[in-house]
Amino acid sequence: MECEFLIDVNLPRYFSLWNSEKYIHQYELGDEWKDSEIWKYAESNNLTIITKDSDFSTRILLHNPPPRVIHIRLGNMKMNKFHDSIDKIWPQIIELNKEYKLVNVFSDRIEGMK
């Protein structure tokens, strides 16, 4: 199975949902990478960046994929609540990611942007 997603350093490394060959965490590449290095890596490997960082969602609006961006905008919450929230909606997020270059995940909705 080929890697499809790059999880930004600002998201948990140990999350069972993302514990497969489809996912690589930035920590595995170098947690000191600059955003531009992350972007280039994701672009050259046709990955979707999963992040809480608005810099990536702003950047994708000016570019065409790859990469794609999933911007998690749930705010600060306890880790178990975060896991429960993402786990419930992850299949919907993945489906939107196939069609949209940016998927914004809010606590009350999910939006795709072409």
Contacts of 94 (CB under 8 A, 6+ apart): none
- For residues 85-90, give the mean pLDDT: 90
Q: Which tens digit of pLDDT belongs to each residue from 91-106?
A: 999 999 999 999 999 9
pTM for the whole thing? 0.91
Q: Kindly provide the residue ranges of all beta strands, DSSP E only, lying in the chain, ordered along the sequence.
A: 5-7, 23-25, 48-51, 68-72, 102-105, 110-113
39: number of Cβ within 10 Å: 21
* Farthest CA pair distance, the chain: 34
pLDDT confidence bin for 74, thresholds 50/70/90: confident
* Residues 25-33: contacts with CB under 8 Å, at least 24 apart: 33/9
pLDDT confidence bin for 69, thresholds 50/70/90: very high
Give the domain ranges of the chain: 5-113
What pLDDT score was predicted for residue 9?
A: 85
Q: Which residue has the tokens 């060959």?
A: 21
